[in-house]
Structure 1
Amino acid sequence: MNHPGTDHHAMMIADFKKRFYVVLFLTVPIMLLSGMIQQFLGLHWQFTGSAYILFALSSVVFVYGGWPFLTGLLDEVKARTPGMMFLIGFAITVAYSYSVAIVFGLKGMDFFWELDTLILIMLLGHWIEMKSVAGASRELELLVALMPDDAHLVVGNNIRDVKTDTLKKSDIILIKPGEKVAADGIVAEGESYLNESMLTGEAKPVKKAAGDKVIAGSINGNGSFKVRVSNAAKDSYLSQVIKLVNDAQQSKSQTQLLADTAAKWLTIIALVTGISTFLYWYLTGQSLAFAMERMVTVIVICCPHALGLAVPLVVAKSTALSAKHGLLIKNRSAFENSRKITTVVFDKTGTLTIGKFEVSAIISLNKALKENDLLTITAALEQNSEHPIATGILQKVKELKLAVPSIVNFKAITGQGVQGTVNGKMILVVSPGYLKVNKIALPDGFNANDTETVVFVMINNQLSGYISLSDRIRPESAAAIKALKQENIKAILLTGDNSKVAASVSKTLNMDSFIAEVLPGQKLEKIKELQQKGEFVAMTGDGVNDAPALAQADIGIAVGSGSDIAAETAGIVLVNSNPNDVVSLISFGKATYKKMVQNLVWATGYNVVALPLAAGVLYNQGILLSPAAGAALMTLSTIVVAVNASFLKIKT
């Protein structure tokens, strides 16, 4: 499984490198045979035919070294989009044609050594630039490399090694210690700790046992286990991430379009200024050689090279970096606009809170009844239920490694609880509403916490105890809200939960406000209301029931969506449900935008200064740029842009 274009890119880098070394080798004799260089060194090495040797060597440089630029010129003319290659191709053709005319009789100084150094520096610039681009997409290749080529397929009692891309849904594969997981799936047997950091940014190894989801590309620890494949390689989480990163690197945002427009204008300015410069000097009495040299220098310096790279390099780097930290950018514009966010709307469950009920208290009202017994009796009744409360109780039993007794005569009491017989006793597990309806007094000292849900346990019609459960606030939530406030961004809680729970969570986290008891369909309206007040709204949600609101928000951020990336309406997906990632996203969005602006300012500013110098504005003051100096400056500006892009970092 290889990233499309990777091999082609590597071949092009190798090609530029080879051409550069050939031209470098020919530069020494060309320099030594050039009249101007000989004058400068105080030598006189002219001999019969030396001009023809110079012409022959320079022709090799022009055709072999200049080939990528000449073919690029033709491609751009065909596509009617004159740009960088057109300018370089035009400049070297003019310089070469003029120099050839000198060899065959025209009066003047040839341009061969300038032509040679110009091509040499251009090849070097392209080679360095392509390596930078390759570096920016190397992170993407690292993601590709995470996918193992082979998998151990379990067929009956045998194990067969097969290619990963032949795996189908429901296949069983074996993952040995230290290996990478070959496909997304569910652990069928065995357990181990997995390192998912390359996929989610979460460094801590995660324990996986039967029934847990695993992601292709994560690295297994010391255990070995079997996985039931849940989707084929091309639909795996990792493949979707790679596709997303690839698409995002190629998708254009407003900043990129701005840079493209600027580059186009720069090409037009280069040609107009170049020809005007030539006419000005030639018509004011300077030699044809001088006028030609000025034109070539102007055109070379004006190549919109740095400008063309200013944004794409930052885009490639930021998209790949984000993916490594569990921030998946599906929409470049949404990512760049994250710097404008004024309000973040959080959907409570699963983002600010853990999203599952956990037992927070077990209270026995009967001295003879131990708390663990109360828990196991309750679990006996709840073991057939899918309700989050039942899941929370059964999770606690599993943690404490308790045995659950058997049950007979099980029956649900609609809307109020369940009943059944355990060890010969009639047990009811009921809601506070049941006690109210049956006029059963709440136990002494019972004080319901707004954020807790309570179930009461009755044994032989006697109230014997209760279990409290709550959806805990994530440990990272408070820091995330605080960080947003420091950025002057409002944090608002939007939830279907009752007002008491919402008020409690909002107060605990020191949020700006909350909107409670909202049905999924109404969330969209609430986002609209905020937008009408002039807020630039980011909405975080789990993507399923929040889809309309995510689409309505200025920036939709889906959280914790694991393998279901492609189905989301969000522009950005946070793989971990960590609210801190929202803060990272905004600060990274700002940092990325800043880098783009820095690069654009540098790329245009450099042209503003260098262009008049190339045209010879300061000629009377004795300041003049040679074509090779122009090419060196242009290359330098490209390198500055590439290096600046590579300094982009995510603060986590």
Structure 2
Amino acid sequence: MAEHGTHTHDKHAGHDKHAGHDKHTGHDKHAGHSTAMFRDRFWLSLLLSIPVVLTSDIIMEWFGYTLEFTGIAWVAPILGTVIFVYGGQPFLAGAVAEIRQRQPGMMLLIGMAITVAFVASWTASLDLFDVEVWWELSLLIVIMLLGHWLEMRAIGQAQGALAALAELLPDEAERITETGDVETVRIADLAVGDVVLVRPGARVPADGEIVQGAAELDESMITGESNPVAKEEGDRVVAASVAADGSIRVRVDALGEDTALAGIQRLVAEAQESKSRSQVLADRAAALLFYVAVVAAAITVVVWALLGQSDVAVTQSVTVLIIACPHALGLAIPLVTSISTSKSARNGILVKDRLALERTRNVDAVLFDKTGTLTKGEHAVTGVAAVTGDDDAVLTVAAAVEADSEHPLARAIVAAAREKELNVPSATGFRSMTGRGVEAQVDGAAVAVGGPALLRQLDLAAPDELAGQIDEWQGRGAAVLHVILDGVVAGALALEDQVREESRAAVEELHRLGVKVAMITGDAQQVADAVAADIGIDEVFAEVLPEDKDSAVTDLQKRGYTVAMVGDGVNDAPALARADVGIAIGAGTDVAMESAGIVLASDDPRGVVAVKRLSAASYRKMLQNLWWAAGYNLAAIPLAAGVLSWAGFMLPMAVGAVLMSLSTIVVAANAQLLRRVDLRPEPLTT
């Protein structure tokens, strides 16, 4: 079993679709080229280039040594040809592909440069021309291979999110047979309806429902939430989550492509392949740079030829072609995209639309749906009042009566008593009175719990001791239940939709970022106002029908705001689609929401702050990379052409190759700094 150390991931049906993720899929200039291929060609080309460099006349002259042996003149041509054919093959193949696709770019520039150097060197070796640059050509290809290898490694690390997600699944599962025995099977052999055993410390093999047992589940790989989530019989669990402290049995209801994990993988892949506005700009700039480089190289050849220096014309034109390669420019955006997308996925932020993430940095108004987003969508006891002053006694008898009821308010009362560790007695003769409340016998007394309708039926009124408190509760929209003991009102309970502690922190953080926070709900105005006052909301849209929620978004947009709508995605689809940025929250097991551009796998509203922070950081890195890549070319091309030759400075071809590779490495290293952006929310203060 996987949890016992037998990791045979190649057997897992879900893993093979990720084979080849080191193929540089996000950077199509290298399609089909693996990191290992560039590495192997680099090392062999480096070894072959050593004798080429050592036997070069100019190198021997520089370092004051002499080598003489039979055939020395053919060392550079023969080994240089091998290096050109073997080491230069990826660039030559890429150049041909760009010509066929009529999309000239980086590979065509490199291919042209090494081909010109190769032809010039052979004509010189055959005494047909005076320019021989075998050693420069060899080092040029070696440096280019090194730069591409390092780039591929960086991109491979960034795009490793998909492979990492695939590796989260165990290879085998323990299936319960019809006889109750446990058998070990491959994940691929599981079927919907099977019951699997998940031991402490093991990963859940597929999405399903707990049919026996209870455990705390680590779902951080899905939601980004580091704290384990308590799960019991009847709760859903998702594939790849880890049972931390208990053994559970799960009935499988989703496998393979239908699981939440597979949905996340699809979103990550789509986001990494999608293009943002910055990417389109970079692509256009890279395409334009090809023509700039060709024209600059042609001018270099003509000028130096007219000056009677054909050797300089060849070497410096090749240097122009090499140094102008739009490699850094082409890498500037895709690498940031890959890193930001994989980082966000690891933090429970699933980016469906790159443009949505890019727009989030400009959001200056966030509209939250109330129920299920800012609140938990479930009632909790927020107040207890007793005529005698013994609040615990009122809560105890109310919990005793409600223990047999399945009503959400009843569950909240029982949960409150359990939280206070009250000794709740058993009730007998339970009876539900539809629309009014419930009643039962508790320790020989007749107890009824219900709302105003129950009081009207029994012709009772709340005693003066409770009237003020009840008015206050009702004023803020709380549901009020009365506890009637032997025909007398003994106390009352207030129940309200529970505000998430995280909501206050989210609103506070958004305010700190200068963002207006609004709330929309179908609840009554007083209920909405009470929640807004509690959390610190700036504007409230109350008593809004689900189909009219998008009008609130339009209202904010008309006032000049760039709006992000945050909702649970169930009845908020029109508003999510209408907003400049739609963010679906609490969708850990439903990642296929069509209406939202960004999906938060957890139900923590602080994730909205993380999205804005990631958006700003990603955009900042994109701009830095674009400015560096473009600025480098603007400065380097004239130097490569020899504009400073009058001052005795000529940029050597090999140095040009080094600078081109360094510019790419600078862009890659700068993008890697995005990993340092902390998306984790601050701990809640109590």
Q: 1:76 to 1:6 in 2, by over 3 A?
A: same
Aligned to 2:7: none
Give the counterpart of 2:334 among 297, 306, 312: 312
* Alpha-carbon distance in 1 for matches of 2:106, 2:20: 21
Aligned to 1:164: 187
* Alpha-carbon distance in 2 for matches of 1:254, 1:582: 22
Q: Structure 1 residue 32: deviation in Å?
A: 1.8
Aligned to 1:432: 452
* Alpha-carbon distance in 2 for matches of 1:445, 1:323: 54
* 2:145 pairs with 1:123: yes
Note if contact 1:380-1:407 (Cα within 8 Å) is conserved in structure 2.
Answer: no
Q: Structure 1 residue 467: deviation in Å?
A: 2.3
* Alpha-carbon distance in 2 for matches of 1:390, 1:370: 16
* Partner-residue secondary structure (3-state), 1:538: strand
Deviation sequence 1:26-83 (CA, Å, 0-9, x none): 1221012212212222344466533223211111111011111111111111111111
Note if contact 1:364-1:374 (Cα within 8 Å) is conserved in structure 2.
Answer: no
Aligned to 1:549: 575
Unaligned runs of 5+ in 1: none
Aligned to 1:622: 648
Note if contact 2:297-2:317 (Cα within 8 Å) is conserved in structure 1.
Answer: yes
* 2:398 pairs with 1:375: yes
* 2:413 pairs with 1:393: yes
Task: Give the 5 Å matches for 1:159-308.
Answer: 159-287=182-310, 289-308=311-330
* Partner-residue secondary structure (3-state), 1:630: helix
Q: 1:521 to 1:421 in 2, by over 3 A?
A: farther
Deviation sequence 1:185-224 (CA, Å, 0-9, x none): 2221112222222322222222222122222111222321
Normalising by structure 2, we get a TM-score of 0.90
Task: Give the 5 Å matches for 1:487-526.
Answer: 487-526=513-552
Note if contact 1:376-1:405 (Cα within 8 Å) is conserved in structure 2.
Answer: no
Q: 1:170 to 1:599 in 2, by over 3 A?
A: same
Aligned to 1:19: 41
* 2:677 pairs with 1:650: yes
Q: 1:14 to 1:503 in 2, by over 3 A?
A: same
Q: 1:402 to 1:167 in 2, by over 3 A?
A: farther
* Alpha-carbon distance in 2 for matches of 1:558, 1:139: 21
Query: Letter of the aligned partner of 1:6 in structure 2?
Result: H
* Bigger shift: residues 106-115 or 38-47: 38-47
Note if contact 1:191-1:208 (Cα within 8 Å) is conserved in structure 2.
Answer: yes
Aligned to 1:527: 553
Task: Give the 5 Å matches for 1:435-450.
Answer: 435=455, 440-446=460-466, 447-448=469-470, 449=473, 450=476
* Partner-residue secondary structure (3-state), 1:556: strand
Q: Structure 1 residue 166: deviation in Å?
A: 3.3
Q: Structure 1 residue 233: deviation in Å?
A: 2.6
Query: Letter of the aligned partner of 1:213 in structure 2?
Result: R
Note if contact 2:568-2:585 (Cα within 8 Å) is conserved in structure 1.
Answer: yes
Report percent identity of matched pairs.
42
Note if contact 1:584-1:650 (Cα within 8 Å) is conserved in structure 2.
Answer: no
Q: Structure 1 residue 398: deviation in Å?
A: 5.6
Aligned to 2:6: none
Q: Structure 1 residue 244: deviation in Å?
A: 0.8
Query: Letter of the aligned partner of 1:5 in structure 2?
Result: G
Query: Letter of the aligned partner of 1:492 in structure 2?
Result: A
Q: Structure 1 residue 482: deviation in Å?
A: 1.7
Task: Give the 5 Å matches for 1:85-124.
Answer: 85-124=107-146
* Alpha-carbon distance in 1 for matches of 2:116, 2:194: 65
Aligned to 1:575: 601
* Partner-residue secondary structure (3-state), 1:534: coil
* 2:323 pairs with 1:323: no
Aligned to 1:405: 427
Task: Give the 5 Å matches for 1:71-86.
Answer: 71-86=93-108
Q: Structure 1 residue 418: deviation in Å?
A: 4.7
Task: Give the 5 Å matches for 1:455-466.
Answer: 455-459=481-485, 461-466=487-492
* 2:20 pairs with 1:5: yes
Query: Letter of the aligned partner of 1:360 in structure 2?
Result: T
* Alpha-carbon distance in 2 for matches of 1:627, 1:20: 18
* Alpha-carbon distance in 1 for matches of 2:88, 2:137: 10
Note if contact 1:321-1:650 (Cα within 8 Å) is conserved in structure 2.
Answer: no
Aligned length: 646
* Bigger shift: residues 32-41 or 99-108: 32-41
Q: Structure 1 residue 158: deviation in Å?
A: 1.3
Q: Structure 1 residue 370: deviation in Å?
A: 3.4
Unaligned runs of 5+ in 2: 1-13, 25-31, 681-686
Note if contact 1:412-1:419 (Cα within 8 Å) is conserved in structure 2.
Answer: no
Note if contact 1:167-1:233 (Cα within 8 Å) is conserved in structure 2.
Answer: no
* Alpha-carbon distance in 2 for matches of 1:551, 1:276: 52
Aligned to 2:684: none
Query: Letter of the aligned partner of 1:630 in structure 2?
Result: G
* Alpha-carbon distance in 1 for matches of 2:158, 2:389: 67
* Alpha-carbon distance in 1 for matches of 2:187, 2:386: 54
Q: 1:167 to 1:453 in 2, by over 3 A?
A: same
* Alpha-carbon distance in 2 for matches of 1:77, 1:402: 81
* Alpha-carbon distance in 1 for matches of 2:432, 2:161: 56
* Bigger shift: residues 542-551 or 210-219: 210-219
* Alpha-carbon distance in 1 for matches of 2:619, 2:284: 18
Note if contact 1:295-1:615 (Cα within 8 Å) is conserved in structure 2.
Answer: yes
Normalising by structure 1, we get a TM-score of 0.94
Deviation sequence 1:562-606 (CA, Å, 0-9, x none): 211103411111122212111111011101100011011111111
Aligned to 1:349: 371
Aligned to 2:626: 600
Query: Letter of the aligned partner of 1:634 in structure 2?
Result: M
* Bigger shift: residues 493-502 or 471-480: 471-480
* Bigger shift: residues 164-173 or 115-124: 164-173
CA RMSD of aligned residues (A): 2.3
Query: Letter of the aligned partner of 1:260 in structure 2?
Result: D
Note if contact 2:131-2:314 (Cα within 8 Å) is conserved in structure 1.
Answer: no
* Bigger shift: residues 435-444 or 548-557: 435-444
Give the counterpart of 1:50 among 53, 72, 76: 72
Q: Structure 1 residue 438: deviation in Å?
A: 6.7
Note if contact 1:490-1:512 (Cα within 8 Å) is conserved in structure 2.
Answer: yes
Aligned to 1:337: 359
Deviation sequence 1:67-126 (CA, Å, 0-9, x none): 111111111111111111111111101100111011112241311011001000000001
Note if contact 2:268-2:350 (Cα within 8 Å) is conserved in structure 1.
Answer: yes
Query: Letter of the aligned partner of 2:645 in structure 1?
Result: Y
Note if contact 1:380-1:406 (Cα within 8 Å) is conserved in structure 2.
Answer: no
